[in-house]
Amino acid sequence: MRFEIKQRRLLSLSLILIFALSVPAQQTRIEQSAPNVERLRSHITYLASDALEGRRTGTEGANKAAEYIAREFAQYGLIPAGGSLSEAHTGASFQKFPFVAGVELGRTNAMLFTPSAATSGATAQTRATSLDLRLQEDWMPLGFSMNGRAENLSATFVGYGITASELNHDDYASADVNGRVAIALADTPDGDNPHGQFARYADVRWKAIAAREHGARALMVVASEENFRDERLAKLSYDNSAGDAGLPVVIVSRQSAQRILTTGGLAPLADLERAARERISSTSSSAAVAVGANQAHKPLALPLQNVSLTIAVDIKRREVPAMNVIGILEGSDPQLKTEAIVIGAHYDHLGRGGSGSLAPREGDIHHGADDNASGVAGLLELARIFSAKRARISRTLVFIAFSGEEEGLLGSSFYVNHPVVPLEQTVAMINMDMIGRMRDNKLIVGGVGTATEWRDWIGMANFKAAPGGLVFTTPDQPNGPRHPISELPAGASVNGSIIGTPKFTLTLNEDGYGPSDHSSFYAKKISVLFAHSLFHRKYYSLN
Ligand SMILES: [Zn+2]
């Protein structure tokens, strides 16, 4: 193995990071510059305590955790950097980001279905035939729907409402939905098959994007459940990672859809569904012909005749504070300190359950000791140790405890769009998520394919961390004396042999994407590392 010694500054950083929690439990020596088991334990004990109620984003428990982390950062002398770096000295360490804790129905939701070619100047007679659809019984707005009122619109049935250019499929290809309501079937032609070619378009968010991009004024999705009360999309919820749809989006019961479609001159719903499926599955096209599509295998877009729709959506979003906690340790090298390395761990967890949890019922606290009080404890220890060694730290270190991770990497997504050090100067991001349950010395490191140096550096660090450290022999005396790696003068390189025993059994994954906050950074083309111990049975259940 050959390496340049000028890499050593970063090498020692990744070394300390990855092996920060490797201190044997029996070690009692308290050292300011070494990871301390008691400190790690006390961080985890507090963060995972009942008092913090599982640290769900936007809750009191999460805010208490944020305050605890901010206090620790302050004790280590980190610069609080919730705002921009220029105001860092006066600002707090909280970086607030928008978060919706819940949605509820407002007062002005309405859907009116008028079975005639109504216009805004419709006569009293045609108005008399209008039918109010009952909120919650016949229809519901979706949580991510735009609020607003769309009046007396024509409508077009657009099959599954999928635009998938890589599949050469566009349900809107022959449809003019401009200024109209697009009526789409839920799900995909693949049915329940999660591996079907259209599976990734099943999410109603994609349908909303397709409808909006084709100029629709509103999207009406037809329920797939016969009983509207069983319909998943009819249960009002909000996905913070998706944001507003940009147009009203509603779901209607199958019975209401049937009435609207047949009144508009189209075939019964079941026939339309069969036609939409068969058109794609390239089998019999008889159904498509039967309902009036001109050609088989062509998009099935059918305008409704003599029907107009009025849709008013009123969703109240309950916004609550959510924040990342950011502390900066300025590098000591006059040149290199303009470069930053982000070290992160999310502090939020699942609170008292709900979606995403395997726990048997809602209400019990998910303490999240491993996920991710363990990572935060590691983060705090690294912040403490590095601040004690500041003179030896060349680059600026940005310590971030993220929130909103469990809700879809919200905190880290917000950070990369509002960084306290510009991303062009951010050379790497190192993430810790679930590092508390190491078994048999097994450690997983992801993201090693995101920088050419990672693999070598991690390999080196793994040797260096082992008892006895890392030694080398010189090329002229391969079996000669062994020198500790620390004896290498700055700027020297080794062409001889590196000798040592690895400390950990490492599993290295190339991918820079993964189920945690480093993904947000890798998406911005920043090199990442992701350290975690083996997944275990208690993942995402009560631990
Ligand atoms: Zn996690």
Structure tokens at 1: 């193995």
Share of the chain above pLDDT 90, in %: 58
Verify that 177 and 136 share a domain, yes or no.
yes
pLDDT interval class at 342 (50, 70, 90): very high
**Which among 273, 330, 319 is positioned nearest to 81, based on CA atoms?**
330
Verify that 339 and 443 share a domain, yes or no.
yes
Q: Which residues surround ligand 1, an ion (CB under 5 A)?
A: 371-372, 433
Instruction: Tell how far the Cα of 411 is from the centroid of ligand 1, in angstroms.
Output: 13
Residue 481 within a domain: no
Instruction: Tell how far the Cα of 422 is from the centroid of ligand 1, in angstroms.
Output: 25
Residue 473 within a domain: no
Verify that 325 and 436 share a domain, yes or no.
yes
Instruction: Tell how far the Cα of 80 is from the centroid of ligand 1, in angstroms.
Output: 24
Residue 120 within a domain: yes
- How far is C-alpha 280 from the chain's CA centre? 32
Residue 235 within a domain: yes
Instruction: Tell how far the Cα of 524 is from the centroid of ligand 1, in angstroms.
Output: 20
Instruction: Tell how far the Cα of 317 is from the centroid of ligand 1, in angstroms.
Output: 26
3-class SS of residue 535: coil
- How far is C-alpha 341 from the chain's CA centre? 21
Instruction: Tell how far the Cα of 409 is from the centroid of ligand 1, in angstroms.
Output: 10
Compute the CA torsion angle 230, 232, 238, 242 (nearest 10 deg).
Answer: -170
Verify that 232 and 128 share a domain, yes or no.
yes
Instruction: Tell how far the Cα of 443 is from the centroid of ligand 1, in angstroms.
Output: 16
Q: Give the CATH number of the domain where residue 290 resides.
A: 3.50.30.30
Verify that 71 and 122 share a domain, yes or no.
no
Domain membership of residue 307 as a residue range? 102-317
Instruction: Tell how far the Cα of 63 is from the centroid of ligand 1, in angstroms.
Output: 17
Instruction: Tell how far the Cα of 531 is from the centroid of ligand 1, in angstroms.
Output: 11
Instruction: Tell how far the Cα of 536 is from the centroid of ligand 1, in angstroms.
Output: 13
Instruction: Tell how far the Cα of 405 is from the centroid of ligand 1, in angstroms.
Output: 7
Q: Which of 274, 302, 317 is the last residue of a domain?
A: 317
Sheet of strand 110-114: strand arrangement: 131-133, 110-114, 308-313, 148-153
**CA–CA distance, 241 with 98 (Å, rounded to integer):** 11
* 71 contacts: CB under 8 Å, gap ≥ 6: none
Instruction: Tell how far the Cα of 345 is from the centroid of ligand 1, in angstroms.
Output: 8
**CA–CA distance, 415 with 521 (Å, rounded to integer):** 9
Predicted local confidence at residue 464, as pLDDT:
78
Instruction: Tell how far the Cα of 195 is from the centroid of ligand 1, in angstroms.
Output: 26
Residue 466 within a domain: no
* 141 contacts: CB under 8 Å, gap ≥ 6: 105, 109, 236, 248, 249, 250, 313, 314, 315
Verify that 181 and 199 share a domain, yes or no.
yes
Verify that 124 and 255 share a domain, yes or no.
yes
Verify that 285 and 149 share a domain, yes or no.
yes
**ipTM value of the model?**
0.97
145 backbone dihedrals φ, ψ, rounded to 5°: -65, 145
- How far is C-alpha 525 from the chain's CA centre? 16
Structure tokens at 267: 């075939």
Helix ranges (DSSP H) in 339-453: 375-388, 410-417
Predicted local confidence at residue 489, as pLDDT:
64
Instruction: Tell how far the Cα of 370 is from the centroid of ligand 1, in angstroms.
Output: 8
Using one digit for the tens of pLDDT, what is the confidence trace for 196-244? 888 888 899 999 999 999 999 999 999 999 999 999 999 998 888 888 8
Instruction: Tell how far the Cα of 502 is from the centroid of ligand 1, in angstroms.
Output: 27
Residue 542 within a domain: no
pLDDT interval class at 493 (50, 70, 90): low
52-56, 70-74, 160-164, 283-287: the lowest-pLDDT one: 283-287
Residue 469 within a domain: no
For β-strands 505-508 and 442-446, DSSP reports them as: parallel
Instruction: Tell how far the Cα of 368 is from the centroid of ligand 1, in angstroms.
Output: 8
Using the CB atoms, write b or e for 411-435: b if 16+ within 10 Å: bbbbbbeebbbebeebbbbbbbbbb
Using the CB atoms, write b or e for 441-467: b if 16+ within 10 Å: eebbbbbbebbebbebbbbbbbbbbbe
Give CA angle at 110 (105, 113), nearest 5°: 150
Instruction: Tell how far the Cα of 374 is from the centroid of ligand 1, in angstroms.
Output: 10
Instruction: Tell how far the Cα of 407 is from the centroid of ligand 1, in angstroms.
Output: 11
Verify that 310 and 376 share a domain, yes or no.
no
Q: How many independent structural domains does the chain possess?
A: 2
Instruction: Tell how far the Cα of 477 is from the centroid of ligand 1, in angstroms.
Output: 48
The mean predicted confidence, pLDDT, of the chain is 83
Verify that 167 and 212 share a domain, yes or no.
yes
Verify that 377 and 432 share a domain, yes or no.
yes
Instruction: Tell how far the Cα of 380 is from the centroid of ligand 1, in angstroms.
Output: 16
pLDDT interval class at 491 (50, 70, 90): low
pLDDT interval class at 119 (50, 70, 90): very low
Verify that 401 and 305 share a domain, yes or no.
no
Q: Which of 294, 317, 340 is the last residue of a domain?
A: 317
Instruction: Tell how far the Cα of 432 is from the centroid of ligand 1, in angstroms.
Output: 8
- Is the pLDDT at 88 greater than 50? The verdict is no
Instruction: Tell how far the Cα of 180 is from the centroid of ligand 1, in angstroms.
Output: 43
Give CA angle at 480 (477, 484), nearest 5°: 105
Instruction: Tell how far the Cα of 391 is from the centroid of ligand 1, in angstroms.
Output: 32
Q: Which of 317, 343, 369 is the last residue of a domain?
A: 317
**CA–CA distance, 163 with 210 (Å, rounded to integer):** 6
Predicted local confidence at residue 30, as pLDDT:
41
Residue 439 within a domain: yes
pLDDT interval class at 498 (50, 70, 90): low
Q: Give the CATH number of the domain where residue 328 resides.
A: 3.40.630.10
Share of the chain above pLDDT 70, in %: 80
Instruction: Tell how far the Cα of 476 is from the centroid of ligand 1, in angstroms.
Output: 49
